[in-house]
C-alpha cells in the first residue's frame, strides 16, 4: 500500500475519534503528507502493551476507553511529528482514539521484585533430528544430550522442545536439569563493567539491576548498518565517544537500554572497553 493511500485510509478511520483536537492535528498532518508507520492490527488482549500507555502524554483517558471496548482486534497507526508521535487506536466497531506520545520509546516502570536471580532463563539447546524422526537436544560436546554423535543427526534452526510429541524423553529430562542462564540484563551488566567509570556507566548498571528494558541489542559493521540504528542525533551525553567508536572498520555490538527519562546507547567492541552515551527521551516538563 502506498503512503498516500495509507494516509487516506487512516483519515477515514479516525472520523469521530476523541479527543477532537488531537484528531484534527493528526488529520492535518496526514493531509500535509505525513507518513503512517507503523500500522499494525493486534488482538484486543495485546493492544494495551502495543500502545505503550506509559509513553502517552495527552489523550490517555480516551485511549483507555478505546482499549476497553469489546473489540476482537485493534488497529494501531503512528505518525511521527517533530517533537512527538500521534497514535491512532482503532478498535473494531468502536469509537477510535488519538493520543500524543513521546517522540521516542520511553521506559516502562521497573518490574516489581525483579532481580538477576529471579530473571535467570532456562537453558536452551538446538534441535537435532535422528534418522528415526525423533527430535533431540544438541549439547556443547558434539553430541545430543542423550549421547548421539553430532554426525548422526540433522541440525534444525529452532530450539529443542521438550515434552512435544516426537521429542526424546531422555533429552527432555537432561535439558530440564541443565543450569539456567543469565538474563540479557545480567549479561549486559557484566559487559559494561569494563566501561569508563562515571554516571553514564553507574546509573545504567543500577537500572539493569532493576530490570531495565533492553530495546535493542544487535551486531554489525560499525561504519554502516549499526551507525544507522544508533539514533546518534538524539544523544545528549557521550555522543562524541560513541561516534568515534562506531567509526571502527570491524563489527561492533550496539545496545539500547530504557530507564527513567533516558535511553542509554552502548557500543561493544572486541578487546576494547564498551562506550556509553545516552539521550533524554522523556517528555519536557
The predicted-structure confidence for 172-220, as pLDDT tens digits, reads as follows: 999 999 999 999 999 999 999 999 999 999 999 999 999 999 988 988 8
Is residue 118 one of the residues assigned to a domain?
Answer: no
Q: Grid coordinates in use for 127?
A: 534441535
Is residue 119 one of the residues assigned to a domain?
Answer: no
Q: Looking at the whole model, is its pTM more than 0.85?
A: no
Q: How far apart are CA 158 and CA 95, in angstroms?
A: 42
Residue 198 has a pLDDT of 96
Residues 53 and 143 in one domain: no
Do 26 and 56 contact (CB within 8 A), yes or no? no
Is residue 116 one of the residues assigned to a domain?
Answer: no
Is residue 195 one of the residues assigned to a domain?
Answer: yes
Is residue 115 one of the residues assigned to a domain?
Answer: no
Helix, strand, coil percent values for the chain (each to nearest 5): 30, 30, 35
Q: How far apart are CA 79 and CA 35, in angstroms?
A: 6
The residue out of 177, 194, 210 marking a domain boundary is 177
Is residue 113 one of the residues assigned to a domain?
Answer: no
Residues 32 and 80 in one domain: yes
> Which residue segment(s) compose the domain that 248 sits in?
184-280
- pLDDT bracket for residue 234 (50, 70, 90): confident
Residue 284 has a pLDDT of 55
Residues 95 and 7 in one domain: yes
CA distances for 125 relative to 21, 43, 131, 138, 185, angstroms? 53, 31, 19, 6, 21
- Domain total in the chain: 3
Amino acid at each position: 500500500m502506498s503512503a498516500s493511500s495509507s494516509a487516506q485510509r487512516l483519515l477515514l478511520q479516525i472520523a469521530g475519534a476523541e479527543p477532537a483536537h488531537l484528531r484534527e492535528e493528526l488529520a492535518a498532518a496526514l493531509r500535509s503528507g505525513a507518513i503512517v508507520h507503523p500500522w499494525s492490527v493486534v488482538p484486543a488482549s495485546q493492544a494495551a502493551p502495543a500502545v505503550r500507555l506509559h509513553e502517552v502524554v495527552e489523550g490517555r483517558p480516551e485511549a483507555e476507553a478505546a482499549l476497553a471496548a469489546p473489540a476482537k482486534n485493534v488497529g494501531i497507526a503512528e505518525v511521527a511529528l517533530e517533537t512527538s508521535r500521534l497514535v491512532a487506536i482503532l478498535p473494531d466497531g468502536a469509537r477510535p482514539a488519538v493520543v500524543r506520545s513521546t517522540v521516542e520509546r520511553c521506559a516502562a516502570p521497573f518490574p516489581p521484585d525483579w532481580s538477576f536471580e529471579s530473571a535467570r532463563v532456562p537453558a536452551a539447546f538446538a534441535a537435532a533430528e535422528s534418522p528415526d524422526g525423533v527430535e533431540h537436544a544438541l549439547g556443547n560436546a558434539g553430541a545430543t544430550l542423550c549421547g548421539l554423535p553430532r554426525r548422526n543427526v540433522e541440525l534444525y534452526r529452532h530450539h529443542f522442545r521438550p515434552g512435544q510429541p516426537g521429542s526424546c524423553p531422555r533429552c527432555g529430562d537432561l535439558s530440564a536439569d541443565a543450569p539456567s542462564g543469565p538474563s540479557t540484563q545480567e549479561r549486559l551488566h557484566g559487559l559494561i563493567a569494563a566501561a569508563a567509570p562515571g554516571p553514564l556507566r553507574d546509573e545504567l548498571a543500577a537500572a539493569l539491576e532493576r530490570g531495565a528494558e533492553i530495546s535493542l541489542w544487535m551486531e554489525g559493521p560499525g561504519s554502516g548498518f549499526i551507525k544507522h540504528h544508533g539514533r546518534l542525533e538524539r544523544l545528549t551525553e557521550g555522543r562524541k565517544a560513541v561516534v568515534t567508536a562506531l567509526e571502527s572498520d570491524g563489527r561492533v555490538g550496539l545496545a539500547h537500554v530504557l530507564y527513567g527519562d533516558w535511553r542509554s546507547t552502548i557500543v561493544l567492541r572486541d578487546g576494547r572497553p564498551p562506550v556509553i552515551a545516552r539521550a533524554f527521551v522523556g517528555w519536557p516538563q
